[in-house]
Structure 1
């Protein structure tokens, strides 16, 4: 049985690795690298392979019970990430405020507890749901706390949250905030994806432009030539099917509509080189908007800014002017000494095979995902974190889970 997987991100590699045990499997990747939205800067000349690398895509593994940690080599490579607000600094109204003691600003997770109490009260009274912004005002949350809360969750979900239904916000895991633990891979997440890809038939720079059903299988149309297969698994972001970047001939309009509703949020990652390696880990959250999460790792020579959602455009604009970018980062943390080296930039919304940082939450997302992931004509299958969008945050474990599910579905249809 010949199976083709379209896309060499975590979902595609997970699916291909499972199916390759007993089938002929090829992975076709449009770009010149594997990893999808995992992008790790490898050590430069003169650096030890044990030095921390710069993550320019997915930053951490969420949760101590994450199934990815069943991989012993990845688990042994991980250590707690310094991304906790309780151990960091937040900058709001231009002032740096540690979130300990009397700082005149509350942790967004503490504000979330207040909103959940408001939601419980309103539900008990049989009242209809209000928006997050309305609930913040009802709870008499201060202006600064409102600003910090909204910006924190906009960064975590890559979407505007002020007008989100309070009911959805308080009941869906997507908005639950930080998981119990966040882990960083010392040698880089991409290193492990390359390890998992070893032994697989992965073909880079093989963009699939069209998929057609044939009498007894599928045909994939590339820029130069075609590939025939019995089954195909599509793992690229659904918006790329909705906008015609990848055409699936005959795919029902309901599927195309569902793909379009699985919209990805904007996201930009920028890394600036420091004059010297940092001696300790530091985490700063830009509550004023623009730079998002700013992290310096211990023994690392980069400061990394990750901005998602409505504020990502501000970081994108700053990145176009290295001088303005350096000025903005040092304004957040004046202790940083940044070199004149050009910044490293990954714009996850720019490029023909990119659709954004990750799937945004929304009232129609779960239903759209359920429609999108259903196997079609027993020959076309779907994976990727968007296909798992059921109120769960679109972290790496969901991409992995989608690959496992799709592989199981393919096997089931082969047996039948």
Structure 2
């Protein structure tokens, strides 16, 4: 098969890039290793037709997010109960709000003040009267990174670079409608992993189980860790690019939908400040509980099988103590060979890596994905969209 441009990865960055290229009249083919489009967007739909739950990207951040232009959205539902778990005891979130330095207030302060070079989030918290273990865990869960390694300046600058606006929204009918809408008018080949990518200036040969795809240029949108682990081998990748890829390891993430034998008596959202469960939520009248855990908490959730999972839930959602686990649906992003993590946070010592990874090589290899904008934009869906648009613009400029 031959095409002008090959896009590797049908996540949001790859689909955005391919859409822009196709609109410019460039023959473009998108290949995706998974059997579906969407990358780290994955929606769970209960068999009884109940409300969908998100096992990947959770919400649409901001009222000016470009997602609103593509699919129908609605304001994210607010929980009737919000709690925090600390010392394995749950208490109302309002109690945390009444403390001198609730985590979200410290987060807003960091975004407003900024931070010095080489300063971790925990360093920054310590300079402001810390340690604040609850706030530290808050940053860990929001950014999927150890606060001792998370760059305070990178966090602040990413938030300042975000133009998505305010508020939180959900995609009506499920987040996976977004990639499906983007892919509808594109030539997308799912179940077609690129194993080896060979290239020379102006020529690309991508080896897949279905054969070789030839192109003039390629856009690599898979997370850098996929290349580092050799799941996708890029021949003759320059040393500085390989070094940047190693610095851009994605943070661990594991999400689980647990279907229980008892219906939830309330709509609740729980933050596990002890670091064992991340964020846990449920909806009144529904049998599902959703666990979204990152960094160290992801490992805890991954290890909590059988009784361990029930015990974890019982602390966050006491009503589950009288319930049996009927089923689980797991999205283990840290173990997924085509993601190798949740997303890429700005880390100390890796400040230049996103820009280096984003640089084209010989006007032939181009790169996109939220890792390419880490530290300048939030590494969420709007960041992925921006990265795909930037890569498309660079490629079109190279084509003249």
TM-score, with structure 2 as normaliser: 0.88
Q: CA–CA distance in 2 between the matches of 1:253 and 1:393?
A: 27
> 2:368 matched to 1:383?
yes
Q: CA–CA distance in 1 between the matches of 2:152 and 2:206?
A: 44
The alignment partner of 2:383 has SS state of helix
2:183 corresponds, among 197, 213, 225, to 197
> 2:327 matched to 1:329?
no
Residues matched between the structures, number: 394
Change (3 A) 1:226 1:315: same
| Equivalent residue, structure 2, for 1:80 | 76
Change (3 A) 1:278 1:174: farther
> 2:145 matched to 1:154?
no
Q: CA–CA distance in 2 between the matches of 1:66 and 1:115?
A: 22
Check the 8 A contact 2:118/2:348 in 1, yes or no.
Answer: no
| Equivalent residue, structure 1, for 2:33 | 30
**RMSD between aligned residues:** 3.0
The alignment partner of 1:230 has SS state of strand
| Equivalent residue, structure 2, for 1:59 | 58
1:8 corresponds, among 7, 10, 30, to 10
Aligned positions of 1:152-301 closer than 5 A: 152-162=138-148, 173=159, 180-214=166-200, 216-275=202-261, 278=264, 280-297=266-283, 300-301=286-287
Change (3 A) 1:100 1:398: same
Could you report, residue by residue, the CA deviation over 1:195-252 in whole angstroms, capped at 9, with x for unpaired residues?
2211321111111112222474211112342111111111000122223222222221
Check the 8 A contact 2:281/2:289 in 1, yes or no.
Answer: yes
Change (3 A) 1:405 1:412: same
5+ residue gaps, structure 1: none
| Equivalent residue, structure 2, for 1:405 | 390
The alignment partner of 2:307 has SS state of helix
Could you report, residue by residue, the CA deviation over 1:373-411 in whole angstroms, capped at 9, with x for unpaired residues?
111111221111111123322010010111111111221
| Equivalent residue, structure 1, for 2:354 | 369
Change (3 A) 1:405 1:163: closer
TM-score, with structure 1 as normaliser: 0.85
Q: Quote how far apart the aligned CAs of 1:260 are.
A: 1.1
Which deviates further from its counterpart, 159-168 or 406-415?
A: 159-168
Q: CA–CA distance in 1 between the matches of 2:215 and 2:363?
A: 13
Q: CA–CA distance in 2 between the matches of 1:31 and 1:325?
A: 28
The alignment partner of 1:97 has SS state of strand
5+ residue gaps, structure 2: none
The alignment partner of 1:341 has SS state of strand
2:94 corresponds, among 93, 100, 103, to 100
Check the 8 A contact 2:201/2:363 in 1, yes or no.
Answer: no
